[in-house]
Structure 1
Amino acid sequence: MRRNPLGRTGMEVSELCLGTMTFGTQTSRAEAHAQMDRALEAGVDFLDTAEMYPVNPVAAETVGLSEEIVGDWFARGGRRDAWVVATKHSGEGMRHARGGAPITAETIPEAIEGSLRRLKIDCIDLYQFHWPNRGSYHFRQNWRYDPSGQDRAATRAHMEEALGVLERQVEKGNIRAFGLSNETAWGTAQWLALAEAGHGPRVASMQNEYSLLCRIYDTDMAELSVNEDVPLLPFSPLAAGLLSGKYQGGAVPAGSRRSINATLGGRVTPRALEAVAAYHALAGRFGLDPVQMALAWAARRPFVASAIFGATRLDQLEHALGAAEVTLSDELCAEIDAVHRAHPMPY
């Protein structure tokens, strides 16, 4: 299992990261613990969760359950040092967390304490803001995103205040590093500039969607990542399961994410299914498993530290772990880019 630096934090993480957003809904407690055991055995030592998890669906009665399940694993085995643990503070509008309140100086300590309690740990290695208060173009908002009504002064004042609170959380030993999620190049640059000016901890990483089907990150954000040592932690590197091929031809397997969310959050389109077919054909020509090819490609991009993948079942986890053994030749990567040019922005 390859390992990469997590920005400038001094921490290293496995190139694959175990996502936990199904822990407590599609994935039972026992299955979740078995996944943690198996992932660790395979060399995966990076785990990502969030206070709002599990999803599919998000519900008031299950908010925080994924963190609790992870915490029970720690309580059972006491192997806290085996994992680099990342979690997230929900942004504005997530009504099941603090009534949908935005990220503020008041909510940050409360949210951190809640995550620490549920995770049954003393310190969170990477604490991330799930999405910015002002909104962003992520989650298919890019088709109608309009930042023209934003208040720059108010945004920067919020960032400065938040960094001050985060600095105190670092000093208290509650968190080690601070990361962002679903952010933009401009937003990240502001966080970095304010940290450089002495207002709080520097952004360590970025968690945005990235896959063979979703390559928005390849331009401005990739340049920022490389030049500022803020690596990407791609989520949905299998495009919510689309790249597995299990939804081709209109199939909706029982218990799958699409059986709960018919459009996979707006990802299911005719063009997306055409692109999946093209990537599967490419994998076949190179003698590769398409899931492992897609996951290895996302994990090995030059601006990526670790690709976050989730598995509903243990056999799916076992299948995904094979990505660590995949070799991506220059010829294959060139062919992948050719397919991308033929099937750009499919959702």
Structure 2
Amino acid sequence: RPHLSWATKVAGPADWLGYLRADPSTTEQQIRQALNDSLRRLQTDFVDLYQLHWPARKTNFFGKLGYVHEVNDPWQDNFLEIVQTMQELAQEGKIRHFGISNETAWGTMRLVHLAETHGLPRPVSIQNPYSLLNRTFEAAGAEVALRERVGLLAYSPLGFGVLTGKYLNEQKPENARLTLFPRMARYSKPNATKATERYVKLAQDHGLSPAQMALAYVNSRKFITANIIGATNMAQLQENISSADLALSPELISEIEAIHAELPNPAP
């Protein structure tokens, strides 16, 4: 598969998800089990990128802005075990690189430091949310991504499709993601709707579709390595692809920044 890069993940603890393996943790045994199960399902003998899906410790991810230290968190720091396991899997030919997801700047730097100290593989990527509605990655993650070469794989660049404008005026398109998964309520908060209305109008005023502008803005950030798009039909895919070579004017970016200053991160 010379033109394809395959990626998969290992989930950490998640008592709210009943479909994971019996002991979702990030021990060596669990990382290996999850990878072997994924390789079997994918019918392949290796993946290019193996990612930790979320931190095993209690920290601020999945919509949590502030960090609250929980002294009773049962988590034990096994970052070194994780990096050592990733090295072994790479040596066995089962993975080529490893990455992280939904991680904080502290967690990223902890892994980088351990890798450098012990001569082990560094994480090559971090998959966190980033969009016009959620730019919290800029606060600490962006500098780490650039200086430590842990590139951001931006997910939800359209905020669950909200930035297309298709949910405005209380619309619920059939089979659309928020119609199917209404629990993702952070994308429907009042300020998220206000910001979306402003961004949609701004795009239209500049002769762009809202999706094109939102994706092109993400693409323009220097800390971005990849922009994870999603499409359920060819029209959406073509619109997404059309944003790849789109350069936003300095004037348009200034107007985007003005909206962000007024309505910052309404859907973290």
Number of residues of Structure 1 aligned to a counterpart in Structure 2: 265
- Give distance in 1, aligned partners of 2:119 and 2:25: 20
CA distance in 2, matches of 1:259, 1:81: 37
1:1-347 equivalences in 2 (<5 Å): 80-93=1-14, 94-142=17-65, 145-149=67-71, 154-155=76-77, 158-198=78-118, 200-347=120-267
Contact 1:296 1:323 in 2 (8 A): yes
1:99: Cα distance to partner? 2.3
Deviations, residues 238-266 of structure 1 (Å, cap 9, x unaligned):
00010010000111011111222224343
- Output the amino acid matched with 1:91: G
1:324 counterpart letter in structure 2: A
Shift, 1:322, TM fit: 1.2
CA pair 100-340 structure 1, distance change in 2 beyond 3 A: farther
Offset at 1:199? 5.7
Which residue of the partner structure matches residue 70 of structure 1? none
Q: CA deviation at 1:315?
A: 2.4
Identity of aligned residues (%): 38
Report the Cα distance in structure 2 between the residues aligned to 1:226 and 1:303, rounded to whole angstroms.
6
1:273-332 residue CA offsets vs partner (Å, 9 max, x unmatched): 110111111112221111011112112210000110111223221221111131212222
Letter of the 1:206 counterpart: I
- 3-state SS in 2 of match to 1:126: strand
> TM (normalized to structure 1)?
0.73
- Measured in 1, the distance between the counterparts of 2:99 and 2:229 equals 18
Moved over 4 A (4+): 150-153
Q: CA deviation at 1:154?
A: 2.7
1:307 counterpart letter in structure 2: N
CA distance in 2, matches of 1:115, 1:147: 33
- 8 Å CA contact 1:125–1:177 kept in 2: the answer is yes
Q: Is residue 220–residue 247 contact of structure 2 (8 Å, CA) maintained in 1?
A: no
In 2, Cα distance between the equivalents of 1:200 and 1:131?
21
Task: Provide TM-score, normalisation by structure 2.
Answer: 0.93
Q: Greater RCO between the two (CA within 8 Å, min separation 6)?
A: 1
Query: Which amino acid in 1 is paired with 2:35?
Result: I
In the TM superposition, what is the alpha-carbon distance from 1:113 to its structure 2 partner?
1.2
AA aligned to 1:340 is: H
Q: Give the conservation status (yes or no) of the 8 Å contact 2:58–2:70.
A: no
Paired residues of 1:271 and 1:346 also in contact (CA < 8 A): yes
The CA distance in 1 between the partners of 2:241 and 2:266, in whole Å, is 27
Q: 1:216 to 1:335 in 2, by over 3 A?
A: same
Does the CA-based 8 Å contact 2:57-2:75 persist in structure 1? no
Q: Quote the Cα distance in structure 2 between the aligned partners of 1:150 and 1:292.
A: 45
Runs (5+) with no aligned partner, structure 1:
1-79
SS of match in other structure, 2:162: helix
